[in-house]
Amino acid sequence: MNKTVITNPIIWADVPDVSVIRVGTVYYMVSTSMHSMPGCPIMRSVNLKDWEIVNYVFDILEDNDAHNLLDGKGIYGKGSWAANLRYHEGTFYVCFSCNDMNRFYIYTTKDIENGPWERHVVGELFHDPSLLFDDDGVYVFYGNGDIRIRELTSDGTRLKPGGIDQLVLETPREGIGLRCEGCHAYKINGYYYLIFIEWPRTGNARRRVVGYRSKHLLGPYERKILLDDDMGYRNQGIAQGGLVDTPSGDWYAVLFQDHGAVGRIPYVVPVTWEEDWPLIGINGKVPVSFEIDLPEAEPGPLVISDDFDYDENTLALQWQWNHNPDHRLWSVTERPGWLRLRTGRPVRNIEQARNTLTQRTEGPACRAEVKLDTSHMTPGDYAGLTALQHYYGTVGIQLDEHGERYAVMCVRGEDGEQQAVERIRCEQKVVWLKIAFDFREDRDTADFYYSTDGHTWRRIGDTLQLRYTLHHFMGCRIGLFHYATVQAGGYADFDYFRYERDSE
């Protein structure tokens, strides 16, 4: 078998709260997707390095005003959190909680790459849950600091009447900012292991990996720090995630690190076992690169260019909507080779705009360009390209109340209202727009451009300082949008989306 060289990070983009399993010679990973739909992306790899998106667990999570962006607030920073992926006796399980719904969800399928997924809902909130399939039952561990266990039915889809429901352990409080959470539970060689992220206020004062183990399901559990390292990056500890093995018996941890505005990015770290403890890293450090006894492969692109040339009204898996889409208001078949976005009910800004179509940004730097036909926009409409986060930036064509066209760059002001930084009269109905992102050396910036011929570009507005905040709890995304501020009924057409990423 050829060896593969792992170079960290394995993905320089927002793939947070990773949960990885191996089935035979194939690895699968799920991650948090919050308010992006479809949700809970499933990624596939044969070597833990080269990943491709193969499926999503659900198209939408709930059909209500908040998830449909109709309540003026949405579910930014909420939705599906810290999904956990498991495989047992031919069935794949994904479980997670949804803070805005105060519910626990379990999805099951026999075919993880194609579905369909069956949905099961428990009317309680289990924070950062992890399923554990044991000889005598099925359990979910969960909690923040105070870690609890609940017993499920034998098929792992419902709470077991009269089953175990108790506190398993209390993690330290003194000197701790964020107590243990993000549980990943395992039973390995006769021990029960619970792997957590923790954030102390003392010592290195950064996120770290903490492990608990016991010979008995309900404890008592012993505690050990398994990894405390940041690879020299801003004291941002590489932490939350879990363990996975290879067919030859080697072990690795798949974790993530907060990495500025691009988001939380995944790492693969070697694991050695000492006295039945999984010690993560080489001499306590995360290596930049190392060899792994798994085959070479080609990664599937995480972010793609798109000519919108589809035979059916569908989209590539790399695309996700910001909140639930209104499928009546978009099409890639009405005008073949173009993405058409129609306006729905009027809103004030991009955060309230439904049917914003997004992909991730990637480090160290990347660019996105679109060609936009504004011929059928109506007064008050705004269409274009966005660097989407709480403190967003947009560039596009805006029609005033008289139907006059302007190239506009806007940002979210500190007061929460959208502000036009620069407006330039633009007679032309077909324009080109571009955003350039720079995440090198923590620059975390976006610059905005427009063109009337696709060749000569003019910078518009100011450089946007990108900021990762808990309002969205997500790395900056690239978005295509069109929304009304006065009346519904207009539409804008995007001919293509062109994406480039710098490798250095």
Task: Find the radius of gyration of the CA atoms of the chain.
Answer: 23
Q: Is 14 considered catalytic here?
A: no
Maximal C-alpha separation, the chain: 75
Task: Work out the number of other CB atoms within 10 angstroms of the CB of residue 122.
Answer: 18
Q: How far apart are CA 232 and CA 238, in angstroms?
A: 10
Q: What angle do CA 124, 323, 362 make, to 5 degrees?
A: 110
Helices assigned H by DSSP within 141-194: none
Q: How far apart are CA 131 and CA 149, in angstroms?
A: 10
Q: How far apart are CA 260 and CA 149, in angstroms?
A: 34
Q: How far apart are CA 396 and CA 157, in angstroms?
A: 47
100, 128, 181, 373: which one is catalytic? 181
14, 17, 230, 306: which one is catalytic? 17
Contacts 24+ apart (CB under 8 A), 99-108: 99/125, 100/66, 100/75, 101/61, 101/62, 104/129, 104/140, 105/61, 105/80, 106/156, 106/157, 107/40, 107/57, 107/58, 108/156, 108/157
Peptide bond connecting 38 to the previous residue in cis, omega within 30 degrees of 0: yes
Q: Is 17 considered catalytic here?
A: yes
E-state strands within 229-379: 241-245, 251-258, 264-274, 277-280, 289-292, 320-322, 330-331, 339-342, 357-360, 365-373
CA dihedral 438, 443, 448, 453 (to 10 degrees): -40
- Kind plus residue range of the DSSP H or E element containing 193: strand 191-200
| Catalytically annotated residues | 17, 181
